[in-house]
A and B are shown apart, each in its own frame.
Chain A
């Protein structure tokens, strides 16, 4: 089982719709979670971080965390063609050394059609 799993997609949504991106993780001890957006050939860009159960909203983006079920999701409201990108989920996974390693999923490709 991978430590962080995402559906590779592509997830296709029409402009104006809500895009829902999901991520599951394996380690119950994980405490911090991040969503990155990556355009083709560019570096990942942080769009959301979430540390506690529930929802966190920032503009059109909402991150949702459910530690009991070990999943984190990202909702994009009023999707725009410019949102078309790959979305990477990243989770801080505790290690035996006390260090927390940031582990990335392989990403979900989102396509927003005009």
Chain B
């Protein structure tokens, strides 16, 4: 089954404790992206990757890192999480010009 898999689904952590949210897709898509979604603000792009070893900042990249060492994986790293990073996070992938396929989301709470 074609899918984007994110883990974990729920995560509660404390300020400053490094964390990684994993994302993997099995559709051989070159393009992958991370979004956060907050009430009233919609989906905002954090980082995206056009291909292996090619990543770029989206609209809200501060406080986040990503890596793309292989085509299928695109982890999101929070080196020092803060409470304002409490949000619902989505990983997504697509072919050029096609629609995005989203993972099931990760609800992160930073206390």
User: What is A's interface to B at a CB cutoff of 8 Å?
Assistant: 8, 31-32, 34, 41-46, 49, 88, 90, 92, 99-102, 104-107
Mask: chain B, 55-95; 1 = CB below 8 Å from A; 0 = not: 00000000000000000000000000000000010100010
Question: With a CB–CB cut-off of 8 A, which chain B residues contact A101?
Answer: 45
- Check B99 against A107 for contact (C-beta < 8 Å): no
Q: State the 8 A-B residue pairs at the shortest beta-carbon distance, nearest first.
A: A106-B42, A43-B102, A104-B43, A46-B99, A34-B99, A43-B105, A44-B102, A43-B104
**Among candidates B88, B98, B100, B101, residue contacting A41 with C-beta atoms closer than 8 Å:** B88
Give A43 to B100 CA distance when docked, in angstroms: 11
Question: With a CB–CB cut-off of 8 A, which chain B residues contact A90?
Answer: 99-100
**Among candidates B42, B101, B104, B107, residue contacting A104 with C-beta atoms closer than 8 Å:** B42
User: What is B's interface to A at a CB cutoff of 8 Å?
Assistant: 40-43, 45, 50, 88, 90, 94, 96-105, 107
**Among candidates A41, A43, A49, A100, residue contacting B99 with C-beta atoms closer than 8 Å:** A49
- Check A92 against B97 for contact (C-beta < 8 Å): yes
Q: Identify the interface centre among A41, A88, A102: most chain B CB within 10 Å of its CB.
A: A102
- Check B42 against A102 for contact (C-beta < 8 Å): no
- Check A44 against B43 for contact (C-beta < 8 Å): yes
Question: With a CB–CB cut-off of 8 A, which chain A residues contact B102?
Answer: 43-45
Question: With a CB–CB cut-off of 8 A, which chain B residues contact A41?
Answer: 88, 105, 107
30 contacts between A and B (CB under 8 A): A32-B97, A32-B98, A41-B88, A41-B105, A41-B107, A43-B90, A43-B102, A43-B103, A43-B104, A44-B43, A44-B90, A44-B100, A44-B102, A45-B102, A46-B99, A46-B100, A46-B101, A49-B99, A88-B42, A90-B99, A90-B100, A92-B97, A99-B50, A100-B96, A100-B97, A101-B45, A102-B94, A102-B100, A104-B42, A106-B40
